[in-house]
Amino acid sequence: MPTLSHRIRLNPTPDQELYFRKAAGTARFVYNWALAEWNRQYQAHVEDPSRPKPSAAAIKRQFNELKYEQFPWMREIHRDAHAQPFANLAKAFSSWWKALESGGRCKAPTFKRKGRSRDSFYIANDKLSLDGNCVRIPVLGWVDMAEVLRFPGKVLSAAVSRTADHWFISISVDVSDETYRRQRLSDGVVGVDLGVKAALTCSNGEVFDAPKPLKNALRRLKIRQRRVTRKVKGSKNREKAKMQVSRLHERITNLRNDWTHKITTKLVRENQAIGLEDLNVSGMLRNHKLARAIADIGFGEIRRQVTYKALRYASELVLYPRFEPSSKKCHVCGHVLAALSLSVREWTCPHCGDFHDRDLNAAKVIEQYARDSLVLC
């Protein structure tokens, strides 16, 4: 059965928020303990190959034998909070190994630092129950939610996390196909050219400009970050100043996500096929002149959302080959220019004489590729 997740803001009491902080701190502590033990056991295996390689399951059993004896304060926190970090660590190492095998740029799992890593903890499905806009959390009891769960179905798991000074619960639900599938409004085909000047240029002539929340809030962000540096380390005033920075970052993220969700939903709801360029976003972010502008639009997030929403609307995402020309290829006759500078926004095809807007032409080339892909399928 398909799975959907719903992220809902919580409205905890002061005592409930204190428990959330303790549970998130416990999860972070256990993750760091497991990572240190993993590194120690792996180093021992390197020095003596007869010793076994570390595994998350073995380290978890080792921790369970000593946790209440060495860390008695863990009895205050439900065991789900200090059981899930071992699975998270195993997943982190698995992702790292896969990246190494594929030759990608990656870093080994690192320790989570308080104030830098995201505060969160896990809740198993058998410990969770819902009643309207309230959720029952182990040890705490009923906690108020800002809204009811949107998707009826079997609850699989949940995770409580903090963003700035707000707490959220993400609930994963097994839903029926009727709930998962959404009705598409039309069967069009559209090509989309992503850019910095115009965030999205569609082959039907529509142009969408991104709100660029980071650019608009950059001055306020610099002021608030400067205030943090002027406060005494460890003081309450410094914590307040850091929270102001976190709140502004949260607002920037919310504005960007709101725009991205609206645009991607419109694309998949109105088209049976969406053509996107297979951009090397991580490589583009190494260009320090354009990195901030590219990150502010969120090219990678646009592709991610179109990918999973296309499944719900029975649409198809077609990726235009990364090394194929789009902007300098004429969509009328197929002629490809030898070179086309980024500063040139309009050009005339020397073969057929057709006049092109750079971004619109690229979108039409991508649309043609998407249509050809549908025919081949």
What are the residue ranges spanned by the domains of the chain? 3-177, 188-376
- Cβ count within 10 A of residue 255: 17
Q: Summarize pLDDT for 20-66 with one digit per residue, the tens.
A: 999 999 999 999 999 999 999 999 999 998 999 999 999 999 999 99
Cβ(191)–Cβ(364) under 8 Å? yes
Give the pLDDT mean for 304-330.
Answer: 92
Q: Is the pLDDT of residue 192 over 70?
A: yes
b vs e for 309-333, b when ≥16 Cβ sit within 10 Å of the residue's Cβ?
bbebbebbbbbbeeeeebbbbbbee
Cβ(162)–Cβ(119) under 8 Å? yes
Which tokens belong to 12?
Answer: 């905890």
Which of left, alpha, beta for 134 (phi over 0: left; psi -120 to 50: alpha)?
Answer: beta
Q: Summarize pLDDT for 230-271 with one digit per residue, the tens.
A: 999 989 999 999 999 999 999 999 999 999 999 999 999 999
Q: Widest CA span of the chain, in angstroms?
A: 81
Confidence of residue 8 (pLDDT cuts 50, 70, 90): very high
Cβ(170)–Cβ(161) under 8 Å? yes
Which residues are known to be catalytic?
193, 277, 359
Cβ(24)–Cβ(195) under 8 Å? no
Q: Summarize pLDDT for 112-152 with one digit per residue, the tens.
A: 998 888 999 999 988 889 999 999 999 999 999 999 999 88
Q: Is the pLDDT of residue 377 over 60?
A: no
Rounded distance between C-alpha atoms, residue 230 and residue 222, angstroms: 13
Rounded distance between C-alpha atoms, residue 376 and residue 117, angstroms: 46
